Amino acid sequence: MAYPQPYHRPYREHGVRIVKIRGVPVSISYENGGHIIFGRPEYQGQSVRLIGKAGTPTYGKSYTATFQPFYEHMVAVFHRVPPGEYYADTYISGRRYETITINTNFATQSYWQ
Written in H, E and C, the secondary structure of the chain is CCCCCCCCCCCCCCCCEEEEECCEEEEECCCCEEEEEEECHHHCCCEEEEEECCCCCCCCCEEEEECEEECCEEEEEEEEECCEEEEEECCCCCCCCEEEEECCCCEEEEEEC
pLDDT tens, position by position, for the chain (113 residues)?
A: 566 656 655 678 889 999 999 999 999 999 999 999 999 999 999 999 999 998 888 898 999 999 999 999 999 999 999 999 999 988 887 777 889 999 999 999 999 98
Q: pTM value?
A: 0.86
Domain ranges of the chain: 38-107
